[in-house]
Chains A and B, each alone.
Chain A
């Protein structure tokens, strides 16, 4: 206390009017001092250094403000949902999609982001969005769903809408090392009330001062005193910006002085609008795991899952209130504290005339309306994002991905992904329980693609789909077992081979002797021999002996060529065991291989990315569809008939426990030695999915392809809105009745006769004896009436 009084006295004594003598004495002393050359140089040196220092600081202030202000993460988006009459989507999946996009139910739909639902009828006000090809304006429309299909899509005036594209959901980002995230917004894009409230609460003299405000400090102190708490800060917005944007959070006198100097310099160079815009984008407003939420635009998405422009008075007040301490006023952890803070901000808004007393009362009566705590943690899709990042890294530098604010539009389908995750997780748990396996022992992965476009819709890399560890869908290279067999049969069906679906194959025991005297003797899974079987039956029932014999006859080299032409890039050894799947592949690679079959012989590289835009919306790169015919359509048609037979009468038939018998599907089971791997790969007209189950230690499981992976696959397909594959035969394919025991041509009224497709000119020859099913004359008459 005493030390404080001393300088006060000194100050007082200095204020006394000095006498003429004293003045003369003082001037003399100053002159003497100034006469000292060293002192003169010292003062000049200090001034010069200060000036240089200020110039350096000034340059730094300008350079950062005018350069790239922030490192912006790359944002990854799902596919946009396109609505049109005929689209298959369940009401539940659609509602889920809207919820994930932050649409809010409303009694009266008047603004973007609102929906109303009554049974199967929806009224929606979509949001506008800048897509890669055009800006899609907000639309107010009505939609009707019936039996899982859109039957009506009209605007509110009743006019038919051919197509409505909803904004895509953001599914992740590639963040800078410091994990700061923000959505940039221009001052003209923010609600005026936000800027005004911010100024009213944080810096009422913002428009008048030059970076520092003595009056502001005094007023803040007074306001805080009146409110009985801290409602206003003493620092100007400019000072706060300088502190956050340029300086560390260290508290010292030197730093405070630097902050003041930089604030003055900033105000000297830039307009109030520029400073306010930067502040609105810079300010820290929360935390989402390791990710720091900066700026009001991102905070709006984080807390309300709504764009800033849609926020009401109460929501804006909460966001402004968070500026003072986002952690302290965290509305999830401390809702009462956050509400008190919001109400204080609303009071300031009323005091400064921004809102009326009535509006304040109304806003204070509203709940905080932040998104549900469970919904807050946005689901992560690590396996899919992993695939996206790998594809991006072939075209972009890691640094650019983390800092340039790229917008990456992918083919990710949230509906398919959710189902793929649910089926894998649910079925693995069920299988472990049913087979009395230790809980957690079984692992799995799955990949789902669209048929035709080759776009990857979903990837699951672990039974716990949120686990961002080893991505089995991409990195688990396991033997594929019988999944390789279609390549053997496709080789047999090629033009220079004399095979068709009814060619008889021997399924008796077979031995392959190597040049070194080694012997390979594959056995059927059932340890039974089946004598002579037809080619398509050997495929449908996945007989090993007949496949091995056929493959050896065709030649390992030819089969390997087929495997590679199907799109497999992994090493395929030319050894006999390759014919039964001793080849290692990842689920993604299996998906590539089977996609060539689903796409009728046209190879398409699988893609997860559609387009990449720069931060300002300039298109940087498109990943277009590319196709290459690798097999004749008629050959693949015949093979796909065999793969359909797998599902109808072969190893895949248990799929129809869950699937409708009307759904036309094709697929193949795969099981490796000692049942270490359980595989299934199959497709409908719209979707192709590959599922792998097994143990990470490559240990034995009790599962086959049919009892394991197929169960996951069929559970998933049963819940997806998917269509049958189109089985219209291509030109040069004809159907004929053949006897399924001998493979010889037969008739529709003969026992054991079945229609099989053949390439014209390569049909079986001869005639099978016919044991009539019914009276031939009656059959003939019936045929007549059927034809009519």
Chain B
């Protein structure tokens, strides 16, 4: 709470430079990582030849997992092309073909929400409401609350629940 309040305030430039200098001089500290080194399943009966005990062990050690968003391929030409195909097929009423195209897109980028929407809408058209709802639920995971896609998924879920 304290950090939140102070962070609204910006220090004067001179002070900022001083702080920057101080910061640079300060000894570096590592993130507080607990390193127990214990292992419930230790190697027993020796170690394979050429594998020095503990060799490189520290190289892979890193702070405990914190959230990192990997960049999805959502905007590549390939995905746009497939999405266009899937939507065209949907518009033409070729539901199964549109489903196949959407699955093709998801093979390239499984977190691309528009493909889940195509799947959900196609299954709705095919009368498989439960299936449509499942794809809507998964698609929502890859959208932001309140955006267009999120609302589209929400509508499908509401329809499904109403029925």
Contact surface of A with B, Cβ cutoff 8 Å: 82, 84-86, 132-133, 160, 162-163, 430-431, 433-436, 450-453, 455, 482, 524-526, 528, 530, 537, 541-544, 600, 602, 611, 622, 624-629, 633, 641, 644-645, 648-651, 653-657, 659, 661, 664, 669, 671, 675, 685, 702, 704-707, 711, 723-731, 735, 740, 750-757, 773-774, 778, 780-785, 787
Contacts and interface: CB of A to CB of B under 8 A. Distances in A.
Contacts of B135: 627
26 contacts: A85-B77, A162-B81, A435-B48, A482-B41, A526-B38, A526-B40, A541-B38, A626-B131, A644-B65, A648-B62, A649-B35, A675-B44, A702-B46, A704-B41, A726-B70, A727-B67, A735-B66, A751-B32, A752-B32, A752-B34, A754-B32, A754-B64, A778-B22, A778-B23, A781-B23, A787-B7
B43 A784 contact: no
Given A433-B48, A661-B60, A675-B44, A624 B23 contact: no
Interface string B45-65: 111111100011101111111
B41 A671 contact: yes
Given A526-B38, A729-B67, A85 B78 contact: yes
Interface string B87-103: 00000000011011101
Contacts of A751: 32
B59 A163 contact: no
Contacts of B110: 450-453
A724 B78 CA distance: 21
A153 to B, nearest CB: 9
Given A85-B76, A726-B111, A728-B69, A625 B119 contact: yes
B40 A727 contact: no
Contact of A655 (B60, B64, B76, B108): B60
Contacts of A657: 55-57, 59-60
Nearest to A431: B48
Given A629-B134, A707-B48, 9 more contacts: A537-B36, A541-B38, A627-B134, A644-B64, A656-B56, A671-B41, A702-B44, A704-B44, A784-B11
B141 to A, nearest CB: 6
Contacts of B66: 727, 735, 755
B124 interface: no
Nearest to B103: A625
Contacts of A133: 97, 100-101
B106 A541 contact: no
A431 B46 CA distance: 10
Contacts of A707: 41, 43-44, 47-48
Interface size class on chain B is 35 or more
A82 B108 contact: yes
Contact of B82 (A163, A453, A629, A756): A163
Q: Name the prevailing secondary structure of the B interface residues.
A: loop
B145 interface: yes
A635 to B, nearest CB: 13
B45 A433 contact: no
B46 A625 contact: no
B40 A740 contact: no
Nearest to A728: B69
A650 B61 CA distance: 10
Contact of B48 (A82, A430, A528, A757): A430
B65 A727 contact: yes
B137 A629 contact: yes
B39 interface: yes
B145 A731 contact: yes
Interface string B20-35: 1011001001001111
B103 A453 contact: yes
Given A657-B59, A726-B70, A780-B6, A754 B20 contact: no
Given A451-B110, A727-B65, A629 B34 contact: no
A785 B26 CA distance: 14
A649 B40 CA distance: 11
Contacts of A641: 65
Contacts of B59: 656-657, 661
Given A85-B76, A162-B80, A706 B60 contact: no
B78 A84 contact: yes
B60 A656 contact: yes
B141 A633 contact: yes
A542 B41 contact: yes
Given A649-B64, A754-B33, A778-B26, A704 B108 contact: no
B83 to A, nearest CB: 11
A766 B16 CA distance: 35
B130 to A, nearest CB: 9
A649 B100 contact: no
A724 B145 contact: no
Contact of A651 (B22, B39, B44, B69): B39
Contacts of A653: 57, 60-61
Closest 3 CB pairs of A and B: A656-B60, A434-B48, A452-B110
A453 B60 CA distance: 29
A650 B69 CA distance: 23
Interface in B112-158: 119, 131, 134-135, 137-138, 141, 145
Contact of B68 (A433, A704, A724, A781): A724
Contacts of B97: 133
B12 interface: no
A649 B119 contact: no
A740 B77 contact: no
B42 A525 contact: yes
A97 B145 CA distance: 42
A648 B103 CA distance: 33
A766 to B, nearest CB: 16
A644 B82 CA distance: 33
B68 A706 contact: no
Contacts of A625: 103, 106, 119
B73 A706 contact: no
Residue from A541, A641, A649, A783 having most chain B Cβ neighbours under 10 A? A649
B127 to A, nearest CB: 15
Contact of A649 (B22, B34, B104): B34
A543 B34 contact: no
Given A648-B65, A664-B68, A774-B26, A705 B77 contact: no
Contacts of B43: 704, 706-707
B74 to A, nearest CB: 10
Given A163-B78, A625-B119, A740 B41 contact: no
A783 B3 CA distance: 9
Contact of A526 (B20, B42, B56, B73): B42
Nearest to A79: B107
A86 B3 CA distance: 40
Residue from B26, B40, B45, B77 having most chain A Cβ neighbours under 10 A? B40
A735 B65 CA distance: 11
A319 to B, nearest CB: 37
